[in-house]
Structures are given as structure tokens and as C-alpha cells.
Chains A and B, each alone.
Chain A
Amino acid sequence: MKQYVRYFKWYFMAVAVLAAVYGGILLVHGSSDYGERRNGECMTEERVFDYGEVLSEKEESKLRELIEKRERQTGCDIVLVTLNESLKEYAREKEPDVPYGEFVRVFAEDFYDKNGFGYDKPVGDGVLLVDNWYRENDGNVYTWLCAVGRPDRKYGLDGMNHLLDNVYRYVESNPYRAYRTYINEFYHDMTGSGRNTVYLAGKDTMPFAAALIGMLLFLAFHWGSKKGEKTVTASTYVEGGKPRLHRKEDVLVNKVVAKRRIQTNGGHGGSGSRSSGSRSGGTHGHGGHHGGAGHHR
């Protein structure tokens, strides 16, 4: 036991230090509190609008609890809307030339404004995620993240895309997890050092796999106790330490040169290009400035 404790002393201490650092960070983040919500004109207390019916009652309830906590910590309204219907008619009625990808934007901005969301004031600080599960005529499913007030100022287009990327990693397989990610990552982004949270692929499986590999290497390293190393060489028992080389001849006898013509390839090259784009920001009615970014799948 003494040997065991002595052997793992530094390992245990390293884990304890990491745990303390992580605990400290959580404590700092958790302690931020923006006090009571000051928007008395908001039309609803609801934050989770599961019109698309992709969540169970229990999941909705858990998301509401999480949102309540995170709103106090971020000082922002956090709203989630799921849909499963075409927004073409709705959006084109408001903006006749709006492209498919922005139907959700029209809806999101309208929804935010109509309900008067905002932690500090109507159409104030807050975010809204609209995830429409309906496949529009162009074959895509669209999502829009709408940011108003402080989040709008904090996030750039890259930041929003980053957050949506993280949501999209889970949304097909586990929508609840995807929406939790949306809430938590928004919280980390708003309360952290200002940088966007880093998404680490395989955050849950990678440590397990790495630990497993580490353990196997450790076992292999310590298991293979060799009987002993051979510590003599060919010259160990040679008198004087080295042999006497009395003949050493390297005589050039012949030289042959072969030639080969190098085939040059004058072939044709070609290149193509792909482009992608997204849209960010934009002014909108009701006195609010909506930043936003959309994704499709």
C-alpha cells in the first residue's frame, strides 16, 4: 500500500489540481448574477416553444429549468423554438424576395419582437434559436440563431456559426442534447473570458479511449520485465580492445553509366471552385437590431 501511494502520489496531485482549477472556474462562472429581470412588457414567461414536437415533456421541463438558471447568470433571455412546418408563405408575405435559407430568420426576428423578449427591456438582451424540422421545397432544413442587444455585440458571424455548429453535432441524433448545448455554450460564451467556447470532438469518448490506451501501454511497459540486457559486444574480449586490420583494399574495377530519359507530363490541370455564404446581421423593424446566423442540414 505504501508503495502504491508513493508511486501514484504525483498522479493524484495532478488530478486534484485540475479538479480544483475546474471547480474554481465553475465557481467564478456560476457566481455571476444579473439580478431580477427588468423587462415587464414581455408577452410570455415561456422560453421553450416545442411546436415541432421533437422534445418530451420531461426534456422541455429540464430545458426550462436550465434556461431559468442561465438567464440570471447571463442577463439575457434565452428562447428556443422548434417548428415542423413550411415558413415559405409566412416569410414571403413579409419579405417577398427572401431566399429559402432566411425564412427562419424572418420568423425568428418576428417572433422575438412580437413577444417582446429581452432581459433588460422589450426587444432587449437575448437570443432565440429557431430550429425548423420541415424540409422546405429546396430540400433543406433550416435553423436560425437570432441575437439581440449584448449577445449581438458579443457574437460575430463566426461566433454564431460556431455555436450552431456545436448544436448541429447532436441535433439529428439527440435534439435535447443539442438544445442543452445551445443554452450552455451561450452561457459559457457570455460569462467566459470572451472567447467562444471550443468544441472538442469526442469530448466524452476521447478521454476514455486515451486512458484505455495509456493503461495498456503502462501495463505493456511494466509487464515485459526482461531477464537481462546483453552488455557485451563483439570486441569485449578482444585483446587490446580492437582487432588488427592488416589488409584493406577497395579497388575500383569498373564503372557503368546508364541513361534514362525522363518522361515529362504536359497534361492538363483543372480547377473548380465552391462557394458558400451566410448572412449576418441586418436592421429590422420594432427598433431592435438583430444579429443572426443560419445553418441548414
Chain B
Amino acid sequence: MFFRCKNCGGNTVYSPEHKKMFCPHCDGTDSGEREAGNGQWECANCGAALEVGEYASTCKCEYCGSYFIMDDRVDGKYRPHWILPFQMGKERVVGKMKQEWKRRIFTPDSFLSEATLEEMKGMYVPFWMYDYAARCVYVGTGTKVRVWVSGDTEYTETSYYHVERGMDIDFDRIPVDASLEMDDATMDLMEPFDYGQLGPFAEEYMSGFYGEVYNMGADELADRAVKRVSEDAGRLLMGTVSGYATLRQERKDVDIKGNGVHYALLPVWRYRYRYRDKDYDFYINGQTGKIVGTTPVSQKKVLAYGGTVFAVLWAALSLLLHIVEVV
């Protein structure tokens, strides 16, 4: 599938800034017309062969830069229920990263150089979203202690309480990434996404970005969601038991029942920076702009900045002490 501009014939893409389809060639908006693919993996614009990854649902022609959506990978069992369109375009993301980079002063100077920024990719990451209902019960014995002194006697009063809690929790759309390429811990750190902007899937949102179909089924990943629900439910349950000096648990049950699962695509920008033969990946939430990633450290800058801080502090303190001594 390909979106062609009816004004100039160029490839139209989804623009987060305009919140609609946009033609970067003639600046036309909403001028894209859908052209179905011919079932072969070749560029409908220039005819070049397309390199499509195992799980890719979109790809970019290396020769003319047009974006294609693989029809069979956004259809049938691969058709997502929901998509959260990109809210932040590349320029805004770069601005945000530069701001962040200012704080990370040991980052090499070539970080975020124009050449490497070219490689920044916007991608829709496949997620399974699970609904669960948790029924929680807690039974235990709590103690409260009161101490007072009267005359030459100290009294310690220990009160024993029967503590019982019952709680129902409905978890709504717990996200678990279904991409083998994406690190699970990193994707967890991308959260939260604001589901208010989650909408029914439409191919238009994918033009101009990379995308994947789910690499693993919902059943395979359910354990991760269950583990999370179990931990969160336990925390919420125990958050209601407070004010006791000691607590002895007699029973704690968290019964979890699945209420449904949905397939969704969520927006993530990826910036890969290579420094001293090592790749450093940065991920930016395409909706909120939250940045996740570890920057490399330039030894040259550590020496320069560390040395300057030392020299400045030394000079300032020495001068200050000398001033205090003579005035």
C-alpha cells in the first residue's frame, strides 16, 4: 500500500505537526490517495526491489525514499485494533533530545550531529494490551503499641487487631511489547502512553514511519502482564493496611482473571549513535517525548570538565579563605 499525492504524485506521509496526511514534496495536506499494493515487494514509485524485514509491516524504498505499507501485514490477524498516532515529529524530538543533551555534559560532541540524526527512525511498536480483573483478599493480625510512664513504672500496652481487606481491581490495557527487537525493560520505561489519543487503526498513520507486526502471540506474553498485575494488586492491597507496628499475614490471595486482550501500535522514535565501535540506542516516546537511553561518556570531556571544576573550586575557596583572613 502506498499513499500518493494527488497534486504532485509524490509520497504523502502522516504529519504529527499537521495531524493529517502531508506531502513533503508540494506541501499539500490531505492530498494522499491510497494505492493498493500489487502483492510484490517492489517500489510502486521507482520500481526498485524493497527489502522487507521478517516482521516489518512498513518499509522505506532505499532509492526514492517512499514509504510502503505491507497490505497483508495490516490485515486479518495482523490488523491492529488500535493505533496511537505519532504526536511528536522529528524536529520536536530532536529539540527535546538537544535539551536533554545539554544536561548530559559528558556526552561526546558528535552526539546528535546532523549526519547521525538523519538515521533517526519513527516506528510503530506492536503491543498487546491486556485487561484483567483482580480479586484480592488479605487477612492478618496487626499490633499497635502505646507506651507511657507513671511514677517509676513504664507501661507498654499492645493492642491486637484482626485485619481484613477485600478489594476488586480492574486493570485496563496493561501494555506488553510484542517486538523481539525491542528490549522489554526499555519499552516498559517508555510508559505511560496517554490512551486518550488511542484510536481505531488506520493505515494512513503508518505512512512515513516504520512498523512491525507482533512477533509473539498474546498467549506467549500474557505471563508478563499477569506478573505485573499480581505485583501491582499486591501493592495496592497492602497500601490500605497502615498504622500498625507489626503485621502478621494469615492469608493473602490475589485472584486474577483475564477480561480481554487487544493488539495496538504505539509510537516510538529510535536514535542510534555509534561511538567507539559500540551502538547506543535512544528511545523517545512518540507521544509524550519521554527519553530512555544511556549516553556514552567522552573521557576527554570528563577530564576537561572535572579538571575545570576542581581548579575553579580550589581557586575560589583559596581566594575566599584569604579574603576572610585579611579583612
- Interface set of A (CB-CB < 8 Å, partner B): 3-4, 7-8, 11-12, 14-15, 18-19, 21-22, 25-26, 29, 188, 192-193, 195, 197-200, 203, 206-208, 210-212, 214-215, 218-219, 222-223, 225-232, 234-240, 243-262, 264
Assuming the A-B contacts A219-B302, A227-B186, A234-B232, are A214 and B310 also in contact, with contact meaning beta carbons closer than 8 angstroms in the complex?
A: yes
Alpha-carbon distance A18/B317, docked complex (angstroms):
9
The reply to whether A255 and B159 contact each other, CB–CB distance below 8 Å, is: yes
Which residues of the partner chain B approach A231 to less than 8 Å between Cβ atoms? Answer: 191-192, 290
Alpha-carbon distance A259/B235, docked complex (angstroms):
37
The 4 closest A-B pairs by CB, nearest first: A247-B166, A228-B292, A207-B317, A211-B313
The reply to whether A25 and B313 contact each other, CB–CB distance below 8 Å, is: no
Residue of A nearest to B129 (CB): A237
CB<8 Å pairs between A and B, sample of 6: A247-B137, A249-B165, A253-B161, A255-B160, A262-B149, A262-B154
The reply to whether B153 and A261 contact each other, CB–CB distance below 8 Å, is: yes
Which residues of the partner chain B approach A219 to less than 8 Å between Cβ atoms? Answer: 302, 306
Among B165, B189, B313, point to the contact of A245 (Cβ < 8 A). Answer: B165
Known interface pairs A230-B189, A250-B161; 15 further A-B residue pairs with C-beta atoms within 8 A, sorted by A's residue number? A198-B325, A200-B321, A200-B324, A206-B317, A211-B311, A219-B306, A227-B294, A228-B186, A245-B240, A246-B168, A247-B164, A248-B164, A253-B162, A258-B158, A260-B155
The reply to whether B325 and A8 contact each other, CB–CB distance below 8 Å, is: no
Assuming the A-B contacts A11-B312, A203-B321, A238-B169, are A260 and B156 also in contact, with contact meaning beta carbons closer than 8 angstroms in the complex?
A: yes
Alpha-carbon distance A207/B320, docked complex (angstroms):
9
Tell me the minimal C-beta distance from B52 to chain A in angstroms.
31
Residue of B nearest to A235 (CB): B236
155-187 of chain B: CB within 8 A of chain A:
155-174, 186
The reply to whether B326 and A255 contact each other, CB–CB distance below 8 Å, is: no
Residue of B nearest to A218 (CB): B309
Which residues of the partner chain A approach B326 to less than 8 Å between Cβ atoms? Answer: 25-26, 29, 188, 192, 197
Q: Digit string of B225-253 for contact with A (CB within 8 Å is 1, else 0)?
A: 00000011101110110000000000000
The reply to whether A22 and B319 contact each other, CB–CB distance below 8 Å, is: yes
Tell me the minimal C-beta distance from A260 to chain B in angstroms.
5
Interface size on B, residues (CB 8 A): 78
Which residues of the partner chain B approach A250 to less than 8 Å between Cβ atoms? Answer: 142, 161-163
Among B155, B290, B314, point to the contact of A257 (Cβ < 8 A). Answer: B155
The reply to whether A236 and B191 contact each other, CB–CB distance below 8 Å, is: yes
Which residues of the partner chain B approach A199 to less than 8 Å between Cβ atoms? Answer: 325
Which residues of the partner chain A approach B152 to less than 8 Å between Cβ atoms? Answer: 261-262, 264
Which residues of the partner chain A approach B137 to less than 8 Å between Cβ atoms? Answer: 247
Q: Digit string of B283-316 for contact with A (CB within 8 Å is 1, else 0)?
A: 0000000111111010000101111111111111
The reply to whether A192 and B327 contact each other, CB–CB distance below 8 Å, is: yes
The reply to whether B236 and A243 contact each other, CB–CB distance below 8 Å, is: yes
Assuming the A-B contacts A206-B317, A261-B153, are A256 and B158 also in contact, with contact meaning beta carbons closer than 8 angstroms in the complex?
A: yes
The reply to whether B163 and A249 contact each other, CB–CB distance below 8 Å, is: yes
Residue of B nearest to A247 (CB): B166
Main SS of chain B's interface residues? Answer: mixed
Assuming the A-B contacts A231-B191, A258-B155, are A238 and B308 also in contact, with contact meaning beta carbons closer than 8 angstroms in the complex?
A: no
Which residues of the partner chain A approach B191 to less than 8 Å between Cβ atoms? Answer: 231-232, 236
Residue of A nearest to B152 (CB): A262
Residue B323 at the chain A interface, CB threshold 8 Å: yes
Alpha-carbon distance A188/B323, docked complex (angstroms):
11
The reply to whether A210 and B165 contact each other, CB–CB distance below 8 Å, is: no
The reply to whether B154 and A244 contact each other, CB–CB distance below 8 Å, is: no
The reply to whether A236 and B321 contact each other, CB–CB distance below 8 Å, is: no
Residue of A nearest to B134 (CB): A243
Alpha-carbon distance A228/B161, docked complex (angstroms):
42
Which residues of the partner chain A approach B168 to less than 8 Å between Cβ atoms? Answer: 243-244, 246
Tell me the minimal C-beta distance from A178 to chain B in angstroms.
16
The reply to whether A14 and B316 contact each other, CB–CB distance below 8 Å, is: yes
Which residues of the partner chain A approach B239 to less than 8 Å between Cβ atoms? Answer: 234
Residue of B nearest to A213 (CB): B313
Alpha-carbon distance A203/B326, docked complex (angstroms):
13
Assuming the A-B contacts A219-B302, A219-B306, A227-B186, are A259 and B325 also in contact, with contact meaning beta carbons closer than 8 angstroms in the complex?
A: no
The reply to whether A254 and B160 contact each other, CB–CB distance below 8 Å, is: yes
Alpha-carbon distance A152/B86, docked complex (angstroms):
83
Which residues of the partner chain B approach A255 to less than 8 Å between Cβ atoms? Answer: 157-160
Which residues of the partner chain A approach B155 to less than 8 Å between Cβ atoms? Answer: 257-260
Assuming the A-B contacts A207-B321, A238-B169, are A4 and B305 also in contact, with contact meaning beta carbons closer than 8 angstroms in the complex?
A: yes
Among A18, A26, A246, point to the contact of B320 (Cβ < 8 A). Answer: A18
The reply to whether A238 and B154 contact each other, CB–CB distance below 8 Å, is: no
Residue of A nearest to B283 (CB): A228
The reply to whether B302 and A243 contact each other, CB–CB distance below 8 Å, is: no
Among A29, A193, A211, A252, point to the contact of B314 (Cβ < 8 A). Answer: A211
The reply to whether A8 and B308 contact each other, CB–CB distance below 8 Å, is: yes
Alpha-carbon distance A7/B306, docked complex (angstroms):
12
Interface centre among B152, B192, B302, B309 (most CB of A within 10 A): B309
The reply to whether B189 and A253 contact each other, CB–CB distance below 8 Å, is: no
Tell me the minimal C-beta distance from A198 to chain B in angstroms.
6
Alpha-carbon distance A240/B169, docked complex (angstroms):
10
Tell me the minimal C-beta distance from A146 to chain B in angstroms.
24
Assuming the A-B contacts A212-B310, A232-B192, are A238 and B172 also in contact, with contact meaning beta carbons closer than 8 angstroms in the complex?
A: yes
Which residues of the partner chain B approach A245 to less than 8 Å between Cβ atoms? Answer: 165-167, 240
Which residues of the partner chain A approach B276 to less than 8 Å between Cβ atoms? Answer: none
Alpha-carbon distance A247/B137, docked complex (angstroms):
9
Alpha-carbon distance A106/B225, docked complex (angstroms):
92
The reply to whether A243 and B169 contact each other, CB–CB distance below 8 Å, is: yes
